[in-house]
A and B are shown apart, each in its own frame.
Chain A
Amino acid sequence: MTTRIAERFAALKAERRAGLVIFITAGDPDPKISLDILKGLPKAGADLIELGMPFTDPMADGPAIQAASQRALKAGMTLKKTLGLVRGFRETDKATPLVLMGYYNPIYIYGVDRFLDDALKAGVDGLIMVDMPPEEDAELCLPALRKGLAFIRLATPTTDDARLPRVLSNTSGFIYYVSITGITGTASADLKHIEQAVTRLKRVTPLPVAVGFGINTPDQAAAVARVADAAVVGTAVVKIIADHPKHPSETVAKTLAFIGDLAKGVRTARASA
């Protein structure tokens, strides 16, 4: 079992602050710039990294992350190259947890066992799979857990109390609470609702709770950081990458600067509350 996720959340707890989870799509806008951004994330203030595996048909993603997938695929990205990106990242960072997020088909075609072995070897800590509910656990979740990768489950506003135990079983690393009933980057969640949801989850699981979908600004990130163990920001980051496709150094600098702002929000959230 990789220990980076547990160690990072323990450290955050000791610092009495929430963590910042940053999502980017692997290979967006191209593999080289993507690696530069990835390598810069920890220093800019990302506590955990969620790396999207590009897919042609991202059913749970809004226009911004769909476009990021398209850019990456156009630049020749594959699942194999995504794992290569992780290896490149691990050359300079051994401590920051990195989880892969995406859809099942590319993994199925790669071969589940081979993928899990290669992902572990590359330095991946866990998986977040959009289209693998607990009903299909035998296929990927259980083999991943057996090999020592975390399987981070998404809980949503439609996951009621009756279903919650099913969602939490076989979940490890942390719980990802999807704060809106919808796809990525399309709405902002109501803070009161988030607070209630986190409380509900905390009652039934000892795992840390990260909240994502619909967090776009440092202020929103800070507000979520007051009530959850981590705030996830993806669409807003990807949009900055989209806005600067022609100037690699500018893309990297602007993206990391924005992450610095988000981190500042998250890190001071509880002190200023």
Chain B
Amino acid sequence: MSTPNSFRTGPDESGHFGIFGGRYVAETLMPLILELERVYARCKADPFFQKELASFHTHYVGRPSPLYFAERITEKLGGAKIYFKRDELNHTGAHKVNNCLGQALVAKRMGKRHIIAETGAGQHGVATATVCARFDMECTVFMGAEDIERQKPNVERMRLLGATVHPVTSGSATLKDAMNEALRFWVAKAETHFYIIGTVAGPHPYPAMVRDFQSVIGIETRQQMMEAEGRLPDTLVACIGGGSNAMGLFHPFLDEPTVRIIGVEAGGYGIASGKHAASLTGGRPGVLHGNRTYLLQDDDGQIQEAHSISAGLDYPGIGPEHSWLHDMKRAEYVSITDDEALEAFQFCSRLEGIIPALEPSHALAHVMKIAPKLPKDHLLVMNMCGRGDKDLAAVLGHLAKRGRPI
């Protein structure tokens, strides 16, 4: 495999990043996906669209999110200078809204006011329900019955925002099945409904479109770091389920050879246990949900259940561009266990007064491993992509079970 001149030109016109990506969907959806590709290309090039998006970023989401020097964690770890990109301060409490806002504006251009979405932890569901309320769109969110039980407050938030939450009982009744069910529903309503996919996965153009909408994270980080330190960061760290917050942070830096890029997958009970959600570390390439990417699967090509303490990372696949960056060795991918993430959750809350979501707690746990060994002038940015209020009940339960009450 030769190194390309740029890592930022993908996907090709057929939607592939190397062998990954593509459009593996039912014929019923193809005309719609092709139309979306055309409309999105127009939006991307349209200054009025970009201006409208930027205006909502400023006044509705609260962007730019700060780049915050985490001084006490830096001191405690005694190595690299650690910055948090504070996307947990966005309206709705996570990075998800960046993408929902963009896609809702695309849907508006297509004249569609019926929106569907899948959700695991409920963050993408809440962000979708939020923008639907704002733009007077009808919103249906597909959520695994298991996750509805685990994430009650988010279910109530979605309902309050006017969305219909559709429980999914098929398969394992979690995120993968919610996505299956959303796709099935979409097949039946393809002509009237717009599907807001929540991560950098699915058939082309979704992985590229969602990445573009999340790239605001990396673009801001770049500028903010130049202002703060006068140079580019040395290392970027972000957690990965499907990988949208990570791709948003990474993409603007892919062609900077001095920037080390690390994605952190959910290691669950550990890779060796087989109970994890680390597609790159513990899976292999396959085709699911419209794209080829690394998947957790058995020798017969049957998809396996993922496991993570974090419902937002509990998915057996990953965005195809990450699979490509992994194979090209442009980014490194590591994994963090449930226990390590829990420890980081407490660590950050106590030292910085920031309660992180369980998802970025995985990224922080990896920072805790590498930062002490790095020099003090090493600039490290971690994406704090969500806040942890939603996880409080679950975390308290886990800590009690482990005999470590707060």
B9 CB-CB contact with A under 8 Å: no
Chain A residues within 8 Å of B188, by CB? 180-183, 186-187
Closest to A130 in B: B26
Bound Cα distance from A180 to B295, whole angstroms: 31
Closest to A80 in B: B300
**B304-315 near A? 1/0 per residue, CB < 8 Å:** 000000000000
Given contacts A105-B303, A132-B24, A133-B30, contact A158 B297 (CB under 8 A): no
CB distance from A127 to the nearest CB of B (A): 14
Bound Cα distance from A63 to B176, whole angstroms: 16
Extra pairs beyond A58-B180, A109-B301, A158-B31 (5, CB < 8 Å): A55-B301, A57-B303, A59-B184, A80-B300, A160-B31
Contact of B30 among A105, A107, A135, A157 (CB under 8 A): A135
Chain A residues within 8 Å of B191, by CB? 158, 181
CB distance from A173 to the nearest CB of B (A): 16
Bound Cα distance from A122 to B291, whole angstroms: 29
Chain B residues within 8 Å of A136, by CB? 22-24
Chain B residues within 8 Å of A63, by CB? 170
Identify the stretch in B106-114, B117-125, B282-290, B336-344 within 8 Å (CB) of chain A at 4 or more residues.
B282-290
Nearest 5 Cβ contacts at the A-B interface: A109-B301, A106-B301, A182-B188, A156-B28, A78-B300
Chain B residues within 8 Å of A66, by CB? 170-171
Closest to A160 in B: B31
Q: Is the CB of A131 within 8 A of B28?
A: no
CB distance from A5 to the nearest CB of B (A): 20
**Docked complex: B23-48 residues within 8 A CB-CB of A:** 23-32
Chain A residues within 8 Å of B302, by CB? 55-56, 73, 106
Bound Cα distance from A186 to B170, whole angstroms: 15
**Docked complex: B1-20 residues within 8 A CB-CB of A:** 14
Q: Is the CB of B28 within 8 A of A56?
A: no
**Docked complex: B168-198 residues within 8 A CB-CB of A:** 170-171, 176-177, 180, 183-184, 187-191
CB distance from A211 to the nearest CB of B (A): 15
Tally A residues with Cβ within 8 Å of B: 45
Bound Cα distance from A181 to B190, whole angstroms: 8
CB distance from A64 to the nearest CB of B (A): 11
B299 CB-CB contact with A under 8 Å: yes
| Contacts A/B (CB < 8 Å), 8 sampled | A55-B301, A55-B302, A57-B303, A59-B187, A80-B300, A133-B30, A156-B27, A160-B31
Q: Is the CB of B190 within 8 A of A158?
A: yes
B contacts, CB < 8 Å to A = 14, 22-32, 170-171, 176-177, 180, 183-184, 187-191, 286-290, 292, 295, 297, 299-303
Q: Is the CB of B288 within 8 A of A105?
A: yes
A178 CB-CB contact with B under 8 Å: yes
Chain A residues within 8 Å of B180, by CB? 57-59
Bound Cα distance from A133 to B297, whole angstroms: 23
Bound Cα distance from A178 to B295, whole angstroms: 29
Q: Is the CB of A60 within 8 A of B31?
A: no
Q: Is the CB of B287 within 8 A of A105?
A: yes
Bound Cα distance from A108 to B293, whole angstroms: 12
Chain B residues within 8 Å of A57, by CB? 171, 176-177, 180, 288-289, 303
Closest to B181 in A: A59
Chain A residues within 8 Å of B170, by CB? 63, 66
A167 CB-CB contact with B under 8 Å: yes
Given contacts A105-B288, A158-B32, contact A133 B301 (CB under 8 A): no
Bound Cα distance from A158 to B31, whole angstroms: 7
CB distance from B251 to the nearest CB of A (A): 25
A22 CB-CB contact with B under 8 Å: no
Chain A residues within 8 Å of B24, by CB? 104, 131-133, 136
CB distance from B309 to the nearest CB of A (A): 23
Q: Is the CB of A56 within 8 A of B171?
A: yes
Chain A residues within 8 Å of B14, by CB? 135
Chain B residues within 8 Å of A156, by CB? 26-28
Closest to A60 in B: B26
- Name the residue among A61, A109, A110 with the largest chain B CB count within 10 angstroms: A109
Bound Cα distance from A187 to B32, whole angstroms: 21
**Docked complex: A180-214 residues within 8 A CB-CB of B:** 180-183, 186-187
Bound Cα distance from A182 to B302, whole angstroms: 24
CB distance from A165 to the nearest CB of B (A): 13
A223 CB-CB contact with B under 8 Å: no
- Name the residue among A104, A107, A178, A183 with the largest chain B CB count within 10 angstroms: A183
